[in-house]
Chains A and B, each alone.
Chain A
Amino acid sequence: MPDSASPVSASDVSVHTLYKDGSARRIALITGLSLLVIATAVLSAGIGTVSITPQDTILAIGHSSAVTLQDFLHAYLPPIAAWYDAIPFTIPTPTNPQAELIVVGFRLPRIFLAILTGISLAVAGTVMQGLLRNPLVSPFTLGLSSAASFGAALAIVLGPGILVSYFLLSYDMWIVVFSFLFGWLSMILVYWISRSRGTTQSTLILAGVVIGYLFTAGVMALKYTTNNEKLRELMVWLMGGMWGASWNAVLLLIPLVIICFFLLERKAWDLNALSAGDDVAKNLGINVERLRLSGLMVSTFAASCCLAFTGIIGFVGLMGPHICRMIIGSDHRYLIPCAGLMGAAILLLSDTVARTIMSPVEIPVGIIMYAIGGIFFLFMIMRGKGRGLY
Chain B
Amino acid sequence: MEISIENVCKDYGERRVLDTISFSFGKSEIVALVGPNGSGKSTLIKTLAGVHKQTSGSISIDGTDIRKIDPIELARCVGYVPQHFTYTLYSTVFETVLLGRRQHIRWSVSDEELSRVQHSLDVLEMGQMAGSYMDQLSGGERQKVFIARALAQDPKLFLFDEPTSALDIRYQIEVMETMREITWERGAGMIIAVHDLNLAYRYADTVVVLHGGKMAGYGKPQEVLTPTCINKVYGVESFIVENEFGKFIVPFRAKAVI
Interface residues of A (CB under 8 A from B): 1-2, 5, 7-11, 13-16, 18-19, 133, 135, 269-270, 272-273, 275-280, 282-287, 325-326, 329-331, 333, 387-389
Contacts and interface: CB of A to CB of B under 8 A. Distances in A.
B130 A7 contact: no
Interface string B115-154: 1011001000001111111011000000000100100010
Contact of A272 (B74, B85, B99): B99
Given A276-B96, A284-B102, A326 B80 contact: no
A269 B102 contact: yes
Contacts of A276: 85-87, 96, 99, 146, 149
A18 B97 CA distance: 13
A389 B89 contact: yes
Contacts of B49: 279, 282-283
A272 B96 CA distance: 9
Nearest to A332: B88
A15 B84 CA distance: 26
Given A282-B49, A287-B71, A330 B90 contact: yes
B41 interface: no
A133 B100 CA distance: 19
B198 interface: no
A319 B135 CA distance: 21
B92 A18 contact: yes
Nearest to B84: A277
B114 A135 contact: no
20 contacts: A1-B136, A7-B132, A8-B132, A9-B128, A11-B127, A13-B130, A15-B118, A16-B118, A18-B92, A269-B107, A275-B91, A276-B96, A277-B82, A279-B49, A282-B49, A282-B50, A283-B50, A284-B103, A325-B90, A330-B91
Contacts of A279: 46, 49, 51, 80, 82
Most buried by B among A8, A278, A333: A8
Contact of A1 (B91, B92, B133): B133
Given A273-B102, A276-B149, A283-B78, A16 B89 contact: no
Contacts of A389: 89
B94 interface: yes
